[in-house]
Chain A
C-alpha cells in the first residue's frame, strides 16, 4: 500500500499536487469547482493552450519558439483587418496561411540552415512586432460589423454548453496527440529530440522534421489568433505580448523537457490548465492579481525540480 502510494507520487506527483491544490481552494470557496467556473477557466486558457499545442512540437525536438507572442499579435491584427476587407472566411484562410508561412520562415532558418532557435525566434519576435506596426500603421483595428457576423462563433458561442474555443483547443490537442503517438512524423519528432545524431543515422530527415514543427506552431498560433480576434472583435498592437512566456511556462510546468525527446500533448494541456486554475483559484481566494505570478514562479521551480529529481533518483544535482 505504502509502496503503491510512493510509486503514484513519483510518477504522477504533479497531478497529485494539483489535486491537493484544487481541493484546498474548493474547500475555501463555493464557486471554484462549479461547472460554470471550470468552463470559464478553460475558456480563458484556450488561446495560450492552442498555441502551446503547436509549440510543444517544437520543444519536443529540443528547440524553442519565442516568436509566437508577436506572431499572435500580427495574426490577430490580420484576421480582424481582413474580416473588414474580404469577409470572415477569406480572413481566416489568409490568417492560417500567414501563420504557416511565418512558421515556415522560422523552420527554414532553424531546421534547414541550422541556426540557434532561441536567437532566430527572438529576432522574429522583434521583426514581427515591427511588421505589426507597419501593417496596422500603429492604430488599433476593430471589426466594424461586430454585432452581426458569424465570425463571433469562435470566441463567444457555445456548443452543447461548452464554449467553442474550448472545443477547438481540445480538438487540436487530440489531433496533435494522435499525430505524436501514432504517426511516423510523431515518432520522428521524439527521435530528433531524443538524440539527433542517432535519428539522422537512422534515416530520419531531422531538418525536415524540425521545419514542419515550426509550421505547426505557426498554424496553431493562427487558430489562436482567430479565437482572439473573434473574442475581442478587435486587435491592439500589443495584444499578444508576453504570450510566448506563458505558453512556455505551461509547457514546462507540464513536464515536457526543454532538451527535447520527452513530454507529450497531455502534459502540456495539464500544465496550461494548472496555470489557469492557479490564477483563478488565487483570485477567488481574494489575493491581489499579481500574487499569481509569484505563485507561478514557485510552482514552476518546484514542479520541474520534483520531475527532474524523480528521473534522477535524488533531489540535488
Chain B
C-alpha cells in the first residue's frame, strides 16, 4: 500500500504532490491558519521569542506524543505516560544526593523503559486490551510516585542541574531540539525500517501480520518500551526545567498527548498515521494554547476551544474521508 501511494505521488507534478501531501496532512493547513489568525490578532505572537517559547512548550507533550504515535499506529493506547513521566522526574531528582546527577537521570530513564516493558509484556502475554493494562498502570504508577516522594515535592539541591536544559541554539532550546530530532528519527524508523513497516502492518491487520511472519508480541513490547522510555525522557527534561518533582507532575498529560496525536490525524484504530502528522498536531495544540493566552482569554476558553477543535477535527475527518469509526 505504501508503494502505491509513493508511485502515484511521483507520477503527478511537484505541485500536485504538494497538494496531495497537504490533503493527507491537513493538520498543517490548520496550523498555518491558526498562526495567521493569531499573528493578526496579537502583535506579540509572531516574534522570535514567542515562537521559541511555543517550540519549548510544545516539546514536552511532543516527546510523549512520539511514543504515543508508535503505540497508536499499532492499534494500542498508552494511558500511563503521564504517571511514568512523574516517576522518572521524581527519581532523577530524588536520587541525585545519593548517586549523583547523571546516574540519577539514567535510573529515571531506566524506570520508564522498565514500566513500558511491563505494559507491553502484559498486553502481549495476556491479550488484555492496552486501555485496561495502562489504565491500571496509570493508577498504580501514580501511587508509586506518591509513596516514593512521601507526598511532597522534591527539590533539586545542585542548581547546575537546572542549567543543563538551558542550552539554546539560536531560538531553539535543548528540549525543542531534542523533540524535533526524536520526531525525525522516529519518522525515519516508521518510513524506512523494518520495524516501521511492521508497525503499520500490525496496526492494519494483526492476524495478517502474524501470518506474514511478524513476531507481533515482541513487536508490541518494543513499541510500549519505546513509549515508556520517551515518557521518561520528557519527565527528566521537566525535572531540569522546573528543578522540582511534584507527585502530581504530568497529571492528565496523557489526555493532552492523545488529543495532539489524534488531532494530527493518526487513527486510534491503528495502521494509519505518521510523525509528520503528530508534529503538526503537537504544534497546533501549542499554538492554540499560547495564542489564546496572549489574547488574555480566561483559562476556560482554552479548555473549551480544545474540546471543540477536537470534535471538529473528528467531524471533518469523517466528512472528508467517509471512513466511519467507532
Residues of A within 8 A of B (CB): 62-64, 109, 113-120, 122-134, 138, 196, 245, 248-249, 252, 258-259, 288-294, 296-298, 300-301, 304-305, 308-309, 312, 316-317
Asked if B24 is an interface residue, CB under 8 A from chain A, the answer is: no
Complexed CA–CA distance, A304 and B299 (Å): 39
Closest partner residue, chain A, to B267 (CB atom): A116
Q: For residue A196, which residues in chain B have a CB less than 8 angstroms away from its CB? A: 326
Asked if B142 is an interface residue, CB under 8 A from chain A, the answer is: yes
Complexed CA–CA distance, A249 and B151 (Å): 23
Q: Nearest Cβ distance between residue B224 and chain A, in whole angstroms?
A: 14
Whether B326 contacts A62 by the Cβ 8 Å rule is yes
Q: For residue A138, which residues in chain B have a CB less than 8 angstroms away from its CB? A: 298-299
Complexed CA–CA distance, A259 and B326 (Å): 11
9 contacts between A and B (CB under 8 A): A117-B326, A130-B304, A130-B307, A132-B300, A134-B298, A288-B147, A294-B144, A297-B141, A300-B136
State which of B126, B135, B307 has its C-beta within 8 Å of the C-beta of A249: B135
Q: Nearest Cβ distance between residue A5 and chain B, in whole angstroms?
A: 24
Known pairs A119-B310, A132-B300 / 19 extra A-B pairs, C-beta < 8 Å: A113-B315, A115-B311, A116-B268, A122-B258, A123-B311, A126-B259, A138-B298, A245-B139, A249-B135, A291-B147, A292-B143, A296-B139, A297-B139, A300-B135, A301-B122, A304-B128, A305-B128, A317-B125, A317-B217
Mark interface residues in B136-157 (1 if CB within 8 Å of A CB, else 0).
1111111110110001000000
Q: Nearest Cβ distance between residue B217 and chain A, in whole angstroms?
A: 8
Asked if B303 is an interface residue, CB under 8 A from chain A, the answer is: yes
Whether B147 contacts A290 by the Cβ 8 Å rule is yes
Whether B268 contacts A293 by the Cβ 8 Å rule is no
Mark interface residues in B252-289 (1 if CB within 8 Å of A CB, else 0).
00010011001000001000000000000000000000
Q: For residue B147, which residues in chain A have a CB less than 8 angstroms away from its CB? A: 288, 290-291, 294
Whether A123 contacts B310 by the Cβ 8 Å rule is yes
Q: For residue B259, which residues in chain A have a CB less than 8 angstroms away from its CB? A: 119, 122-123, 126
Q: Nearest Cβ distance between residue B26 and chain A, in whole angstroms?
A: 17
Complexed CA–CA distance, A128 and B307 (Å): 8
Whether A290 contacts B314 by the Cβ 8 Å rule is no
A126-B259, A130-B307, A131-B300 known; A120+B314 contact, CB < 8 A: yes
Q: For residue B304, which residues in chain A have a CB less than 8 angstroms away from its CB? A: 126-127, 130-131, 134
Closest partner residue, chain A, to B217 (CB atom): A317
Complexed CA–CA distance, A124 and B144 (Å): 29
Whether A301 contacts B303 by the Cβ 8 Å rule is no
State which of A297, A309, A317 has its C-beta within 8 Å of the C-beta of B137: A297
Whether A293 contacts B301 by the Cβ 8 Å rule is no
Q: For residue B301, which residues in chain A have a CB less than 8 angstroms away from its CB? A: 130
Q: Which B285-326 residues sit within 8 Å CB-CB of chain A?
A: 298-308, 310-311, 314-315, 318, 324-326
A133-B299, A293-B142, A308-B127 known; A252+B132 contact, CB < 8 A: yes
Asked if B185 is an interface residue, CB under 8 A from chain A, the answer is: no
Whether A290 contacts B146 by the Cβ 8 Å rule is yes
Q: Nearest Cβ distance between residue A232 and chain B, in whole angstroms?
A: 21
Asked if B133 is an interface residue, CB under 8 A from chain A, the answer is: yes
State which of A63, A116, A296 has its C-beta within 8 Å of the C-beta of B314: A116
Closest partner residue, chain A, to B259 (CB atom): A122
A258-B132, A305-B128 known; A109+B140 contact, CB < 8 A: no
Complexed CA–CA distance, A258 and B129 (Å): 8
Q: Report the 5 A-B pairs with minimum CB-CB distance, sorted nearest first.
A: A297-B140, A293-B143, A317-B127, A127-B307, A130-B303
Complexed CA–CA distance, A317 and B140 (Å): 23
Complexed CA–CA distance, A123 and B300 (Å): 14
Asked if B51 is an interface residue, CB under 8 A from chain A, the answer is: no
A62-B326, A293-B139 known; A127+B308 contact, CB < 8 A: yes
A113-B315, A115-B314, A130-B300 known; A297+B128 contact, CB < 8 A: no
State which of B124, B127, B255 has its C-beta within 8 Å of the C-beta of A122: B255
Asked if B131 is an interface residue, CB under 8 A from chain A, the answer is: yes
Complexed CA–CA distance, A132 and B303 (Å): 10
Q: For residue B325, which residues in chain A have a CB less than 8 angstroms away from its CB? A: 114-116
Complexed CA–CA distance, A134 and B258 (Å): 25
Complexed CA–CA distance, A128 and B300 (Å): 9
Closest partner residue, chain A, to B314 (CB atom): A115
Whether A126 contacts B136 by the Cβ 8 Å rule is no
Q: For residue B300, which residues in chain A have a CB less than 8 angstroms away from its CB? A: 129-134
A293-B140, A300-B135, A316-B126 known; A119+B308 contact, CB < 8 A: no
Complexed CA–CA distance, A286 and B103 (Å): 34
Interface hub of A113, A291, A293 (most chain B Cβ within 10 A): A293
Q: For residue B135, which residues in chain A have a CB less than 8 angstroms away from its CB? A: 245, 248-249, 252, 300
State which of A116, A133, A297, A312 has its C-beta within 8 Å of the C-beta of B326: A116
Complexed CA–CA distance, A255 and B151 (Å): 32
Whether A312 contacts B127 by the Cβ 8 Å rule is yes
A133-B303, A290-B151 known; A120+B140 contact, CB < 8 A: no
Q: For residue B306, which residues in chain A have a CB less than 8 angstroms away from its CB? A: 123, 126-127, 130
Whether B307 contacts A123 by the Cβ 8 Å rule is yes
Whether B310 contacts A114 by the Cβ 8 Å rule is no
Q: For residue B137, which residues in chain A have a CB less than 8 angstroms away from its CB? A: 297
